[in-house]
Amino acid sequence: MSDHDHDHHGHHHHHDHEHSELSETELRVRALESILTEKGYVDPAALDLLIDLYEKKIGPRNGVRVVAKAWSDPAYRERLMKDATAAIAELDYSGRQGEHMVVVENTPEQHNMVVCTLCSCYPHPVLGLPPVWYKSAPYRSRAVSDPRGVLRDFAVTLPDITKIRVWDSTAEIRYLVLPMRPEGTEGWSEQQLAELVTRDSMIGTGLPKQPSEAA
């Protein structure tokens, strides 16, 4: 039995993305950065350094709200699984145009993990900026060839019966993992549940916090 199902999704890159595209906004931002760099006003390395500081807080908050709501509201969970783009938009996070969101749900039988093997496609509107490791070549290649090993590096051990499925993001389809609601949280409010949702648990390289770890 295959530990993951990658090829099925990987082909999107080749058929649908012969070339790159930048949004109008991104074009303008890059134009400014090139000019300011040439003129010596901006040092791209200094920009990267500052932006890295914000990557953790930039946006998983939106994803956290989506997951906590799905855990506490079965009707919302159903809408989210059926049409994630629309269900996420309900919470007022307008994604970038053309990005289609798909939510993949963890179960005792299947653990989901998200990667972009070719670059760093990432569900920005719900998770903010990608962590540095997400963009790194080792993660991008090993997530596919050895997902269980990658999870071990993240200190995640899954039962042997849990199959791991790896989802390869594309410029058009972005995946968000819906982790399993931790046990012992019966009767918790959406706000309390939100405390348990971590960024990595929504990428699939981590698990939600346990109730005992909640702040």
Contacts with another protein by CB under 8 A lie at 13, 17-22, 25-36, 39, 41-43, 46-47, 49-51, 53-54, 57-59, 61-62, 92-94, 96, 118-119, 124-125, 128-129, 171
Q: How far apart are CA 113 and CA 139, in angstroms?
A: 11
Token pair of 17, please?
Answer: 């993305």
Q: Would you call 34 a catalytic residue per the annotation? A: no
**Residue 21 DSSP SS3:** coil
Among 20, 72, 120, 201, the one annotated catalytic = 120
Q: How far apart are CA 146 and CA 200, in angstroms?
A: 18
Nearer Cβ to another protein (42/180): 42
Nearer Cβ to another protein (38/160): 38
Distance in Å, CB of 172 to another protein, minimum: 11
Please, is 4 exposed, middle or buried when counting C-beta atoms within 10 Å of its C-beta (0-12, 13-18, 19+)?
Answer: buried
Q: Would you call 189 a catalytic residue per the annotation? A: no
Nearer Cβ to another protein (53/161): 53
Secondary structure letter of residue 119 according to DSSP: S
For tokens 């949702």, the residue is 197
Q: Considering Cα of 64, then 68, then 73, then 75, what sign does the dihedral take?
A: positive
Nearer Cβ to another protein (27/86): 27
| Other CB atoms within 10 A of residue 50 CB | 9
Distance in Å, CB of 215 to another protein, minimum: 14
Distance in Å, CB of 37 to another protein, minimum: 10
Q: Would you call 119 a catalytic residue per the annotation? A: yes
Distance in Å, CB of 197 to another protein, minimum: 17
Among 20, 34, 94, 119, the one annotated catalytic = 119
Q: How far apart are CA 122 and CA 137, in angstroms?
A: 15
Among 72, 121, 169, 201, the one annotated catalytic = 121
Residues paired with residue 167 on neighbouring β-strands, in sequence order: 114
Among 116, 141, 201, 212, the one annotated catalytic = 116
Catalytic residues: 116, 119-121
